[in-house]
Amino acid sequence: MSSKEKKSVTILTESQLSSRAFKDEAYEFYKELRKSQALYPLSLGALGKGWLISRYDDAIHLLKNEKLKKNYENVFTAKEKRPALLKNEETLTKHMLNSDPPDHNRLRTLVQKAFTHRMILQLEDKIQHIADSLLDKVQPNKFMNLVDDYAFPLPIIVISEMLGIPLEDRQKFRVWSQAIIDFSDAPERLQENDHLLGEFVEYLESLVRKKRREPAGDLISALIQAESEGTQLSTEELYSMIMLLIVAGHETTVNLITNMTYALMCHHDQLEKLRQQPDLMNSAIEEALRFHSPVELTTIRWTAEPFILHGQEIKRKDVIIISLASANRDEKIFPTADIFDIERKNNRHIAFGHGNHFCLGAQLARLEAKIAISTLLRRCPNIQLKGEKKQMKWKGNFLMRALEELPISF
């Protein structure tokens, strides 16, 4: 979207927010919004009217605002309920990301013990082995596409082993994940996504049948046990939770590893500083999360009660979407916000969200990124971007800030 086009736009659509052109110029657009228009009107097709939030303080406030709901059934009456856009929507949306308290607390409790500090630290050796094994395969070539060869397989192997699902299915997860996070309401895309989600549901049904026959010490077996007890988890919630863990368990980390590597290669002084001072790795990860937030926009929140924000009435049933990417570049919170600084102090980014829906897997993602980047820099000290920076393309995707590929040589 050019500067000329930005000035003429009065309402943004879902397709514009999802476009590659928008992703290329999003940071400049957000900068203008933070200065002049804290709420930006959105037209979200079947979802109705919405507002894009760009400022950090507003994001913090709204991420904790009890007038906003994740489950639209807590906002709409039976008569107002919108028809499902996809046949399999109900089967795959009854998870904690789309729930409000007390349901959210119940669902989160069922899985959070698998993501405790102690449990995550136990995965360190396994993650290190995976990182080394992946680099063993590509190092003789002196070249790789970081996304396909490293950033994607590492977290998908980790979450697959935690859940107890076959590694050979990981490429299917990649396709299904893209269908789930694709918000497009274009008829042809809806049809394609519905077909893919139907495949995913069939896969989950088969997987659950197998786990019922042969339970193991994995997370899916534990969830099935909760479902069998009747009061903890419904069948729809079981399928939805498995889906969420598969998708969220790798998608954000893929982008974190890729975007951090990209930022380091675009800022050679910071890359060299990290090489010379590896103890800055934790700080560098936080800065990467802020600078190129893996999740650009939050999933939708519905307004249950009207309220006023910056003089604008937010009406019941309006959709609120928060730009984490914009909030994390807010100049009022982050001095020199557009500079990538791995020694940044007081880095209060919200890349993993805030409030009840703070990312359950944040600690796992940080550990995976720490091992992945540290191992990459140690084993491939001459890492370089293969091609020009302008050739790197951001995916056209509503939720995520994700590179299509990242070719590197070493």
Confidence of residue 182 (pLDDT cuts 50, 70, 90): confident
Element (H, E) at 313: strand 312-314
Q: How confident is the model at residue 229 (pLDDT cuts 50, 70, 90)?
A: low
Q: Which amino acid makes up residue 213?
A: R
Total structural domains in the chain?
Answer: 1
The answer to whether residue 195 scores a pLDDT higher than 90 is no
18-22, 34-38, 45-49: segment of lowest average pLDDT: 45-49
Query: At 388, is the pLDDT very low, low, confident or very high (cuts 50, 70, 90)?
Result: confident
Contacts within 8 Å (CB) and 24+ apart, 231-234:
232/106, 232/110, 233/107, 233/110, 234/94
Name the residue with higher pLDDT: 409 or 110. Answer: 409
8-22, 139-153, 207-221, 223-237: range with lowest mean pLDDT: 223-237
Tell me the C-alpha distance between 158 and 153, whole Å.
Answer: 9
Q: Residue 4 has what pLDDT? A: 40
Q: Domain holding 252: CATH number?
A: 1.10.630.10
Structural domain harbouring 111? 3-409
pTM over 0.95: no
